[in-house]
Structures are given as C-alpha cells and as structure tokens.
Structure 1
Amino acid sequence: MKHTLGIFARRAAPALALLWALHATAQNAAPVGGGFRIAGRVVNAATGDPIPRVTVAAHSQPDGRVLATAVSDSDGHFSIENLAAAKYPLSASKRGFRTEFYDEHEEFNSAIVTGEGQDTEHLQFSLAPPASLHGIVTGDGGDPVEGANVMLFRMPDAAHRSEGIVHMDNAMTDDTGAYQFSDLPAGRYYLAVKADPWYALHGRANRNVDGSPTGLDVAYPVTFFDSSIDESSAVPIALAEGSREEANVNLHAVPAIHLKLPETARSRGTPSVVLRETVFGQEMQGRGGLVAIQPGNLEAIGVAPGHYQITHGEPPRTVELNATSDVEIEPDAGVAAVTLSGTLHTSAGLPIEEDINLLLEPAEGTGRMRMQTFAQKGQFTFEGVLPGRWNLTAYAGPDGLALPVVSIATGQHAVAGNEIAVGDHSVSVAVAVSRSQTRIEGLARLDGKPASGAMIVLVPRAPGAYLSLLRRDQSDSDGSFALHDVAPGQYTVVAIVDGWKLDWRDREAIAPYLAAGTAVTIRDRSAPVVQLTKPLTAIARGTGASGGADGR
C-alpha cells in the first residue's frame, strides 16, 4: 500500500507528526474490538539484534489514525491485541532509530491484514538506525565560516541510476562553522557549500578613498567535499545504517568574476537579464548583483566562478556558462528560447475551468531549469523555453493532486504521454489530462501463498506514456494491492518479488516481467473500482517471466 497523507508528514519534518500521534495514544490506546492480534519481533536492521521498548502502532485506513499500540519487551517481542478483522498499516518508533512502517520501501509499505486464516503473529519488523553527517566549514586561515549554506545531495544507487542526483536538504553553519544532518537513510551523498566572505566588497564599495580598488572584490566558489570546486571531482560520502561521519570543507576566496551583459527592454515587466547558478544541474539561490555600467550594458558583480545559466535579450536567449574568468556576453550569444503555449482538457474532451499548476521539466537530464506556470480556464503559456525534450506534469487543487497527462497533440497529431519536443520556433499544443479516479484492485500470490511486499507495477502499453501513466503499489500481508487514479488506457500489471531494487523508471528494466503480467483496459466509463478476476503470479526479481493472463 502507499503511505497515506498525514501519517507520512514525517518526510517533510522527520518523525514529528507520527511521534506526536504515538505519544498521544501510547499510554492509553483503546483496543478496536475483535479477537485478532498482530505480534512479532522488532530487530535492528543493521545487526539483527532485538530492540526493546519500541512503540509499535496499528493505524487505520485511510486516515492513518493510531488505533492501538504496544511496546516491545527486552527480547524485542510485541503484541497488539483485540483487533477487528481489517487492514492496519504498522509503524515502529524509538529514539535513536528511524521511524518506519512495516517493510517500508520509498513511499510504500505492507499493511497487516487480520482475519480468519491470516498469519499475523510471526512478523519481523526491521528498524534501521539513522545515519548522520556533520562537519566544520572553514575559510582561508582556518577561521570558521558562519552562515554558510551546506547542501546535501543523494546519489542514485546502482539499480536506480535513471533517478539522477537528488537535492536532499540544506543546513546553515553556526558561529563555529559547524553543521549537521541527522536521520539520514543509508546511501552515498555529495556535499556542497555556498557562502560569501564576510569582508568582501563589490562594485562601488570596492574602492579606497583615492579611488583605487581595495583588493577585496572576492568570492567563495561553490565548494564540494573534499574541498574541490569542480563537480566532477566531488568525493562521495558513504553512510551506512547507524554511522556518524564527519566531512569538513575548507573554502578559499578567489577574485570575483565580472560578467558584462547586454540589457534589452523586456515587456510585461520581466527583467532583461536573469542569472541562475546551478549545482549538479539544479538551480541554487542566486548571489551577486547587476549594475548598469553604461546605457545598454549591465555588469554582474560579486559572482563566484561556477556553473551559470544566463537568460538575456528579447526574444530571450539562454547561455550555459562555466565561468572561470571575466566574460562579456554578446547580444546574439546563446540559444534562442521560444514560447510554449496551449490548451488543457480532459481525456474525454471536456474543458477544465479551475486553475491547474503546470510543471515543465527537462527530459534529457541536461541540467536545464524546470519551469512552472498556471493554466487558467484551460489556457497556459511558458515563456523562454529552450529547444529540446520536456516533460509536462499537471497538479490540481490545494493538495496538489496529480492529473496524469494522457497525450499531447501538436496540430492534428497526438502522441501518448507527457513529453513535448520543442524546436527553434514557438509551439502550441493541446494537452489531455485524466481526471479518472479508477482504482485497480487485486491479489498477488507466490507458490500458492500471499505474496507480501511485492512491487506491483501498472505498465501502460504505449511506450511514450510510460512514466506519465505508470502506477505502483506494494502488496499487503495478504497479497492485496490497489493502484489509484488510473487513467483510461491499456495496461499490463505485474507483481515482482524484491522488485524494489529494479530501476523501475527504465521501461527496459520492467520489460522482462511483462509476459507474466495481467492485461487490463481502463475506459472513460470504467467503474470506480476495477477488480482483477485472477490473482497475479508474483515473479522473483532477476528471473524474468513467461506466460500471462487476461484480467478483465
């Protein structure tokens, strides 16, 4: 099952929402009435040793309320009694360990299903001790740097390379230059530090009384562990479960670079020049400033050497720049950006009246910036889009409910999926999104028994729609699963045991398992719940598959 909203607010503020709920109920949790129980043992995921005094909680569906709790004994054993026949997401929490749900993978877990014939009394709940990372940021001479922005990036593991490097968190150094990241999952990380020398002077401030430069027109380049200013030389930091690692970074001030830029009047009040700094292809908050040096020309001051994306001119042009020294940008420099506009409608052809949040992201991993706009009464416009392949995502309502993009049409030609090819001319598209709330339910079995913890993948037949329409779930203890908000289309649903190590974003990684999947078709008029008529045969990761079945 997928984590429900509320239970997993801890991903934004680790463990706080869940721990508060447990605290409120742990000492006086009322049984929910019934003759079933959930029992097992909590062990350390790193060592296998039993963990005493862990609070184990049974939650309700779909709101995630804590219904009953138990505390593990000295041997790690726990038992939650007097439960009705139902489905219970199970969590475990103790100081010094990461708060987790039973058999948790990414945003999924396996709920425990009680009832006649269900074995719910021999669970092993593995709880991982968190890793932490700390260190000191110093400047020239070894003095601590206060207020430095320390950025933590997580590297994809070998099985998930298509996910790319992810910006995980930020921390600010204190007056001793110290920073710390806590409650981290095991993995490999990069560390980058961004700061400004407290004594730096730029522009007119960089002048002595006699008009000579002060020599303080300096900046700190973004610096990576282990004190390199080159992304490609950044040293990965390996964190094991329960480890506490130290990573110190030393910053060196270098002469600030000066970028001379052409200034052009822009319409709609937008700035004529936009300067963005990137780290691992992701936009960071800008630094430095723009000053006019003569009519029609600007100069960026206080800029550190690094990677930048500069948008200038009318119509806009974009320059990708690895700046190491002073540069003058010519008016015709860079790639011409274009306007992407279009209409939004449902897959049934109905208009969409409310505001929809649209996100445009590069599909090619080029490091280009994502863009955001709103569709109002079904109309939208993105300004300054660079040529290339882009993915469009739509979100509705205050909770940001994803609306799957079913197809995108240019003229009379519609292509399944959410990818848009942008050339060197402005383009207009018609985007069809799904408002379907169809849910596919079924069972996964392995050797005639429930397949608990299997990765369930709903794979669209149209390759171009793979990432936009794909759905995933994790089977519960009785093998049951539910795939939510499925758009109309033709699919194959598969169950893969230990599938969480597969790079599921890559269709080729899932393709070997499709032959053993179940075909299912969802239409605009399908029932709210589509029940598969036969159990899925779960396939062990790495074995491939042969044979298949039709669902309905």
Structure 2
Amino acid sequence: MKRFLLVFLAAAVCAGQDRASSYTIAGTVTDSVSGQPSARVRVVLAPAERPTSELSSGITAGDGRFHFEVSKGKYQLRAERNGLPGQPYGAESIFSGFGIAIIAGPGQNTANIVFAVHPPSTISGIVLDEAGDPVENAIVQLMYVQVVAGRKSVSTLGWGRTNDLGEYRFSGLASGEYYIAVTGKPWYVSSPHSAPDDPASGSEIVRAAFVPAFYPNTADPRAAAPIEVKPGQDAVASFSLFTKPGFALTVECESCSGKQMRLDLISEGVSGTQAFHRTEYIRGRSVMPAISPGMYTVKISNQDMGTPLVATATADLTAADAEVVLTPQESARVSGQVTLQNADPRLLSRMFISLRSEDFRTPSFSREIAPDGTFQIPVSWPGRFRLWITGVPGVFASRVTSEDSAFQNGVLTIGDGTLVKLNVVASGGMGRVSGFVRRNDSPASGVLVVLASAALPADPGWYLGFKTDSDGSFDFKNVRPGDYRLFAVNNTELEYANPGAIRPYLEAAKPLLVEMNGVLDVDLELP
C-alpha cells in the first residue's frame, strides 16, 4: 500500500522566512499502551503562550507521522480525537493540563518526536437490589482524584442514571483513581401510595429505602476506596443496593407559590464531596418518602433567569420523619473596592475578581472589575473561597481586608445570604524566575520544577509548578515578591502546594529572594 507522508506547513509562522531560518517539528503519534502508530489523529500546532489556538494542523495517516516547518520559537502540540478533549504533548493522561512545550531553534532535536497518545478508558457496571433485580434510574456519581493547583482533591466528574437493566457507563475517561457513589429509591416507592408488600396501604408513606453505596459496595463514605483505571481499560464496578426502613422528608418552601424551584437532597460523600440523593422540582411543598436514615442538606434554588434565590437547611432523618421550612433569599454577595498600585490604573477595566474554592469541590465565581475599581459577585453555592486577581498578567492581590467575620486568614466562608465587603489592594511588580534543569549533562525535559514560598503558607498562590520544556527550560513569569525555595523532581503528580508533601525536598532546594520586578536566572541539576 502506498504510504502518504502528511506535511503540515505552518504558513502563518513561516511567512517571509527563507529555508535556512526554518526548523522542523516532526515525529510519530503512537498509542501509549501498544506503542503502535496511531492513525486519524488530528495534530495541532500552537504557540506555547496560546496553547488552545491553532497555527496549523492535519490528520495522521496509518504511519502516525506528522511534520511541521516553523520559525524559531516555543510551541505546543496537541492531539485531538473524536469525542475526546485535546491532549497536549507530554501529558500524563487525557485530562492532564501539564504538557511539554517544544523549543524549535538551532541545536534542538525536534524532528523525531514520539507523541504518545493515551487511549480513553471506561467504567461501567450493573446496579441490582437485594433480590437480584436491576435498579432503574439510580443516580451514579463519578468522582476523580487529581492534583489541582498543586493540591490533591476529589471532585465530581459527572453523574449518570441506570437504564432499565440497571446498567451505567462512563466513557472517554483518563487513567487514574476514581470514586463511585450510587443512590436511588425502590421502584415501588416512586409513588407513596403503592407498594408490592402492602397494596392496601392507602396514603401511608412506604418506608423501604435504599442505603447509599460507595465503591467497593460500602455504606460508609469514609470506608470508600478508589478504583484504579489504566489507559484504555474497560473497568467494571457493580453494586448491590439493600433496603432498610427509611423516613419521609417534608419540604415547605415559603414564598414559592407559583415559582418552580429546584430541590436537592444531599449527604456527606467521599473525601468531603457531596452525594446527591434526590433532585425534584417543586412549587411550594414536597414530600419525599423512603429516605435512608442519616443527616442531609436540603437546598432549593430558582431555575429562572431572574434574581438568584437560594436556601439551605439541615434535615435530621436519623430516627424519625422530618420537616423543614425554607425561605429563599437572594444569593450571597461579595462586593468591595480594588485599589491598584505599581501598575497603570487603566488596567482595572481589564481585570477580574475571582473567588476560587478552597477545596476545589464547590464552583468558583468571577466578575469583572468596574473602571472605578468596584466589584460585586453573587455566590450561589456555600463554601470556603480565596480571592484572586485575574485577567492581567503580573498583578496580584497583595492585601485583602474586611471587617466581616466571614473573612478570616485569607479565606471567605460563604453561607446563604452572606454579605461581605472587601477592600483589595492589587499590586504590580511581580518577578520572574527562569532557568534550565539538567540530568547527567543533558536537558531534563518533562520534569516538575517547584517554586515554593519559604514560609510554607496555607495560601496556594505562594506555590508554583512548571513542567520543563523539551530543552529542559522553565519560566515562572508571575512571581509574588518574597523568599522562596526552588527544586526539581521527576514526579509530576507531586502535591507541590502541600507543605507536608514538599518538605522532604526543601533541604536540598535552592533559596531565592524574588524582589519587586526582579528577574532571576537559575539552573538546577536533577539527581
């Protein structure tokens, strides 16, 4: 069979360049499991500073080859496949954002790249009841363990429902560790007026409730264990749900007449996550039968496009039926004033205030800063948040003050209706730390460089991680002034913003003082 070599010319980069000033980025896309060339993969070339953009692209043939001619510079490659997120070159999995940038220029060997693409994995299974019958419409919650901003977290990746055979399936997954939770209710309590064991029950609420199950089929979320999924693996996790006498929860929504509100019933999940048991839509009052004994959070929120309304309450169903009355109110708001120093005041209109979840388990919220420096952020989900300045490189929140008790030690604790006013000083003058990592006199590409504040604070903004480029280089462009420790490790999954995780590396780390607008060039040797 005639073989075709796909040649993708990055014309936008090379226009006006003669052949002597062009460089080759070429190689083979392979399957990371089998090592065989991968066909029908779209390879995209992008500038490293805009990795989601595109300079040129093409689809590989049966030999997996790709070829670009580029000018001197720093680039990223990403592989795109049908129905899957783009995977950067050098990423550890299809969900990882840590790739390896490719440096094209004199003396750089970039013509024989092996771009290992990870095949997607799946998790599937069957949910049965204690009689061995399939449980239809059970809620299956999938949680993923990953390092986010230098800290390990467990966050919900998605939900699914079982079909009439009790089957569920999650596809397009990265390799790694997952937790799974299953909740549901017996089919005969879909209505409180019918049950197979007591057809004459009339209006009496049926008591049978499924006990929530966490992989590997335990009722205690603290005893849950992750399922390890390898690249390309079809993992199986099945569950058996057992019933026990449950209780009924009556929810009364004051001032909700005529308004459709979403009602969520939530309990403690794995590692601080939330396990969702029921989701309904109500207009004033709802009775939920057959709930497994336990402590729950009841949340209602409006579903229209008007003013966000929300209310939460705790329901104690450990020993008896319960009733909660909720009065929706406007969602919490964080407002305040930003003062800019050591930077052009006109930058304010390009900046954003972001509230990022302290544990990455609740949503984050962001709003533009007005030209006069004022801001207001509605927060529709309770949680603990840290404030960040985004939108303009080189500017950070150097000081945040408030008289509200909700703001303590740099963390905002937001509940329903919380109103917090902040004064924020945003400063320019961030520094830069760059250099090279070598191992045995050769560039060490794809290793993790960590820049950590010497004080080891709780704020993750004082910890930075960088996966070295193809020539072993690293470049931290926005560094808050202060004392730091710098080191490199092979483990790219290190929790680099966790003081306990990095402490063993600090003794051999290089001490650095980053001054305002300071620029440091530092080289590291990896053992």
TM normalised by structure 2 equals 0.70
Residue 240 of structure 1 deviates from its aligned partner by 1.9
2:341 aligned counterpart, secondary structure: coil
In 1, Cα distance between equivalents of 2:145 and 2:522: 37
Residue 166 of structure 1 deviates from its aligned partner by 2.3
- C-alpha contact (below 8 Å) 2:486/2:512 kept by paired residues: no
2:9 aligned counterpart, secondary structure: coil
1:432 and 2:432 are equivalent in the alignment? no
**Aligned partner of 2:296 among 308, 314, 317:** 308
- C-alpha contact (below 8 Å) 2:126/2:238 kept by paired residues: yes
**Aligned partner of 2:466 among 462, 473, 484:** 473
Q: Give the counterpart letter for 1:279 in structure 2.
A: G
Unaligned runs of 5+ in 2: 301-310, 326-331
Aligned position for 2:307? none
* Higher mean C-alpha deviation, range 401-410 or range 240-249: 401-410
More strand by share: 2
In 2, Cα distance between equivalents of 1:445 and 1:183: 34
Aligned position for 1:109? 99
**Aligned partner of 1:444 among 411, 436, 442:** 436
Equivalent residues in 2 for 1:154-193 (5 A)?
A: 154-155=144-145, 163-193=152-182
In 1, Cα distance between equivalents of 2:382 and 2:248: 26
- C-alpha contact (below 8 Å) 1:56/1:90 kept by paired residues: no
Q: Give the counterpart letter for 1:84 in structure 2.
A: S
Residue 65 of structure 1 deviates from its aligned partner by 0.5
Equivalent residues in 2 for 1:16-55 (5 A)?
A: 29-32=8-11, 33=14, 34=19, 35-47=22-34, 49-53=35-39, 55=41
CA distance 1:128–1:28, change in 2 (3 Å): closer
Residue 500 of structure 1 deviates from its aligned partner by 0.9
Q: Give the counterpart letter for 2:24 in structure 1.
A: R
2:475 aligned counterpart, secondary structure: strand
In 2, Cα distance between equivalents of 1:234 and 1:412: 38
1:163 aligned counterpart, secondary structure: strand
Residue 121 of structure 1 deviates from its aligned partner by 2.9
In 2, Cα distance between equivalents of 1:416 and 1:520: 28
- C-alpha contact (below 8 Å) 2:79/2:88 kept by paired residues: yes
In 2, Cα distance between equivalents of 1:448 and 1:140: 63
Residue 328 of structure 1 deviates from its aligned partner by 5.3
Superimposed CA distance per residue, residues 135-170 of structure 1 (whole angstroms, 9 cap, x where no aligned partner):
22234544433333221123469x999523222222
1:537 and 2:527 are equivalent in the alignment? no
**Alignment coverage as a number of residue pairs:** 476
Aligned position for 1:86? 73
Q: Give the counterpart letter for 2:450 in structure 1.
A: V
Superimposed CA distance per residue, residues 253-307 of structure 1 (whole angstroms, 9 cap, x where no aligned partner):
44441357899999xx9x9x996434223233744799999xxxx9764533345
In 2, Cα distance between equivalents of 1:149 and 1:453: 39
In 2, Cα distance between equivalents of 1:226 and 1:496: 37
1:120 and 2:110 are equivalent in the alignment? yes
Residue 493 of structure 1 deviates from its aligned partner by 6.2
Superimposed CA distance per residue, residues 106-141 of structure 1 (whole angstroms, 9 cap, x where no aligned partner):
312112111111122343333323321112223454
In 1, Cα distance between equivalents of 2:163 and 2:324: 42
**Aligned partner of 1:458 among 425, 445, 451:** 451
- C-alpha contact (below 8 Å) 2:210/2:241 kept by paired residues: yes
Residue 30 of structure 1 deviates from its aligned partner by 3.2
Superimposed CA distance per residue, residues 472-529 of structure 1 (whole angstroms, 9 cap, x where no aligned partner):
3222112333335x36421536351414142212124334347543625353xx3xxx
In 1, Cα distance between equivalents of 2:523 and 2:467: 13
In 2, Cα distance between equivalents of 1:140 and 1:357: 51
- C-alpha contact (below 8 Å) 1:97/1:128 kept by paired residues: no
- C-alpha contact (below 8 Å) 1:36/1:114 kept by paired residues: yes
CA distance 1:27–1:470, change in 2 (3 Å): same
In 2, Cα distance between equivalents of 1:73 and 1:195: 46
Aligned position for 1:242? 232
Residue 248 of structure 1 deviates from its aligned partner by 2.0
Residue 443 of structure 1 deviates from its aligned partner by 2.5
Residue 373 of structure 1 deviates from its aligned partner by 8.6
Aligned position for 1:19? none
Equivalent residues in 2 for 1:30-429 (5 A)?
A: 30-32=9-11, 33=14, 34=19, 35-47=22-34, 49-53=35-39, 55=41, 57-61=43-47, 62=50, 64-69=53-58, 71=60, 74=63, 78=65, 80-92=67-79, 100-105=87-92, 106-139=96-129, 141-155=131-145, 163-200=152-189, 212-213=202-203, 216-259=206-249, 276-280=266-270, 281-283=272-274, 284=276, 286-287=278-279, 301-309=289-297, 319=314, 323-326=317-320, 343-346=336-339, 348=341, 359=355, 361=357, 377-378=374-375, 390-394=384-388, 405-410=397-402, 418-419=410-411
- C-alpha contact (below 8 Å) 2:150/2:463 kept by paired residues: no
- C-alpha contact (below 8 Å) 2:451/2:484 kept by paired residues: yes
In 1, Cα distance between equivalents of 2:395 and 2:408: 15
Root mean square deviation of aligned Cα:
5.2
Aligned position for 2:486? 494
TM normalised by structure 1 equals 0.67
In 2, Cα distance between equivalents of 1:93 and 1:452: 23
- C-alpha contact (below 8 Å) 1:98/1:129 kept by paired residues: no
2:457 aligned counterpart, secondary structure: helix
* Higher mean C-alpha deviation, range 255-264 or range 139-148: 255-264
1:464 aligned counterpart, secondary structure: coil
- C-alpha contact (below 8 Å) 1:185/1:241 kept by paired residues: yes
CA distance 1:212–1:497, change in 2 (3 Å): closer
In 2, Cα distance between equivalents of 1:311 and 1:91: 41
Residue 355 of structure 1 deviates from its aligned partner by 9.9
CA distance 1:463–1:82, change in 2 (3 Å): closer
Aligned position for 1:549? none
Residue 70 of structure 1 deviates from its aligned partner by 6.9
Percent identity (aligned):
19
In 2, Cα distance between equivalents of 1:330 and 1:115: 67
Q: Give the counterpart letter for 1:305 in structure 2.
A: P
In 1, Cα distance between equivalents of 2:136 and 2:428: 51
Superimposed CA distance per residue, residues 178-230 of structure 1 (whole angstroms, 9 cap, x where no aligned partner):
22112222223222123344432566889x99884456354434322344332
In 2, Cα distance between equivalents of 1:396 and 1:121: 37
In 2, Cα distance between equivalents of 1:275 and 1:449: 56
